[in-house]
Amino acid sequence: MLQELLTLEVLIPWILSMFLGIFVGATPGLTATMAVALIVPLTYHMDATPGLAMIIGVSFTAIFAGDIPATWLRIPGTPASAAATLDGHALAKKGQGSFALSLDLVCSALGGLIGVLILMLIAPQLARFALLFGDYEYFWLGVFGLSMSALVTMGQTSKALLAAAIGVFISTVGQDVVSNSQRFTFGNVDAMAGLNFIPVMIGLFGVAEVFRNISSGDSLTDPAPQEQPTSLLAVVPVVAKNIGCIIKSAIIGTCIGALPGAGADVAAWGAYGIAKSTSKTPEEFGTGAIEGVIAPTSANNAAVAGAWIPALVFGVPGDAVTAIVLGVLMVHNIKPGPFLFEEGGAAVKSIFMIALLTQFLLIPCGFAGIFGFGLIQKLPKRVVLVAVLVFSVVGSYAINNSMFDVYVMLVFGLVGVFLEACKVPVVPMILGLILGPLVEQKLRAGLIASSGSLEPFLTRPISMTLWMMLIITFTGRPIYLWFTRKRKS
């Protein structure tokens, strides 16, 4: 099997596709799904093995590469990288961007590796558990994800929850999927499909950051001071010290990734929130905490592996990428489903082996990406800021070839500046936008299924576990702090 993979006709397209993944992932406006979609037509003319190697390679690298602009410029390359705008960017501002990205890369590869091992070992069992999730459980999962925003921004819980409410409201703009009613579109055809997540994200993070920099009074002549590029060996002790956090985040990422529709973005925020709530130094999160870099990146790459679990075992895609992959597998006469593990053993082994080796290839490809993008940091700051503005415009436009998305990006850029001036965290707003449709659809579908009764939301075992976890999440820490204070006094 290994010999078959290590031939030039497999390795060359595989590595080239990984470089494409680095480029697409690092470019705001181009997503991992887009990268896979670009690769698919090429794979039709290839054998199954190099075709699968290209798709698996591009999907893992694009998710990591999204962290590169998120760390350097505070613009997430993909939605799954939004969490990297917190601690990764904070480290870059302190001149440790190269270190943050090297750490990010190694943890990404380790997270992916753990995710693939879990995929190999317990794929059927985990997929069966994922199928136990119905509308009621998904509703609570969405609410639980939103509550993470309160954890992520400890100390400003009320403002964080209000920002999440704004995000959920924004997600309702457009045509209602259940009743087809228009909501807040004001007759605009472009708005009927809803506000695209990417221009909103580029505006809130990228454009707001540019205006903050221009108006901050810092020097715009000199490049941002950065340390020398970090070698792989320099991050090894840090990785070894935080191996527990990496494993925990990767397991969380795999489990969330295995839930159809949840995806790498939810996995990254979930892992970030849990890492913060279990950290000994939660107050350091958001200011350049090492665990704040490690947790989301380990989780989002593990989630890519997790998404393959329901795809392979039941033919149910875990996210948009695996939905495309299912089509490719069919073209190559590989039929996903319970019989795949019995009848298509060679194909399954091939997929597992490619996914494993991709994690090792990710390290050199990722370093090349970090080095290439790091050169931009040597330019004068004002050139970078203007380039970011232009790329934000083009990135927003490229999604639908529409100026509407560019205006959305600009409006949310201004909203981002305003919210930052009011000391309101924008991250929960992003979470609200991502999870809003999930929460609304599952709430309404659940109520329709239960004839308007709220009982199943509260009494089904997994639902009950989730809402109890929600209560513990909100009350656990204040109660713990109250007891600690009382004991001290």
Partner 1 sequence: MTPFKFARSPENLAFGIFLIFIATTILFFSQSIRVNDFGNHDPGPRVIPIAMAVIMLLGGIVEVVSGFRVVPVPLQPQPQALEQTASNADWKRGLSVLIGLLAYLIVMNWLGFLVCTLIFGSIALISLGSRWWTALLSSLCIVVIVQILFVELFHVSLPTSVWGGF
Interacting residue ranges for partner 1, rule: CB under 8 A: 23, 27, 30, 38, 158-159, 161-162, 165-166, 168-169, 172, 176, 178-179, 181-184, 210-211, 214-217, 220-221, 380, 382-383, 385-387, 389-391, 393-394, 397-398, 401, 403, 406-407, 410, 414, 418-419, 421-424, 436, 439-440, 443-444, 447-448, 450-452
Q: What is d(CA 371, CA 387) in angstroms, rounded to the nearest whole number?
A: 19
Minimum distance from residue 485 beta carbon to partner 1 (Å): 20
Minimum distance from residue 177 beta carbon to partner 1 (Å): 9
Q: What angle do CA 337, 341, 344 make, to 5 degrees?
A: 90
401 vs 489, beta carbon nearer partner 1? 401
212 and 389 in contact (C-beta within 8 Å)?
A: no
331 vs 368, beta carbon nearer partner 1? 368
State how far the alpha carbon of 435 is from the alpha carbons of 18, 104, 431, in Å.
29, 25, 6
Minimum distance from residue 51 beta carbon to partner 1 (Å): 21
331 vs 448, beta carbon nearer partner 1? 448
403 vs 468, beta carbon nearer partner 1? 403
Structural tokens at position 363: 């390290």
Q: For residue 367, give the nearest of 102, 89, 21 by alpha carbon.
A: 102
Minimum distance from residue 380 beta carbon to partner 1 (Å): 8
Q: At which residue do the structure tokens 């909100």 appear?
A: 474
83 vs 210, beta carbon nearer partner 1? 210
Residue 74, sorted as left (phi over 0), alpha (psi -120 to 50) or beta, turns out to be: left
13 vs 317, beta carbon nearer partner 1? 13
DSSP 183: E
8 vs 422, beta carbon nearer partner 1? 422
314 vs 391, beta carbon nearer partner 1? 391
Minimum distance from residue 447 beta carbon to partner 1 (Å): 5
Q: What is d(CA 470, CA 472) in angstroms, rounded to the nearest whole number?
A: 5
Minimum distance from residue 413 beta carbon to partner 1 (Å): 9
| Alpha-carbon torsion, ordered 39, 43, 44, 49, to 10 deg | -150
Q: For residue 266, give the nearest of 138, 130, 74 by alpha carbon.
A: 138
Minimum distance from residue 138 beta carbon to partner 1 (Å): 15
DSSP 175: E
Q: What is d(CA 180, CA 198) in angstroms, rounded to the nearest whole number?
A: 23
214 vs 238, beta carbon nearer partner 1? 214
Q: What is d(CA 185, CA 191) in angstroms, rounded to the nearest whole number?
A: 5
Minimum distance from residue 228 beta carbon to partner 1 (Å): 26
Minimum distance from residue 432 beta carbon to partner 1 (Å): 9
Q: What is d(CA 469, CA 316) in angstroms, rounded to the nearest whole number?
A: 27
Minimum distance from residue 46 beta carbon to partner 1 (Å): 21
285 and 291 in contact (C-beta within 8 Å)?
A: yes
Residue 383 carries which side chain, given as an amino acid letter?
Answer: V
* β-bridge partners, 183: 174
141: Cβ contacts below 8 Å, ≥ 6 apart: 133, 259, 262, 438, 466
123 vs 198, beta carbon nearer partner 1? 198
3-class secondary-structure state, position 379: coil
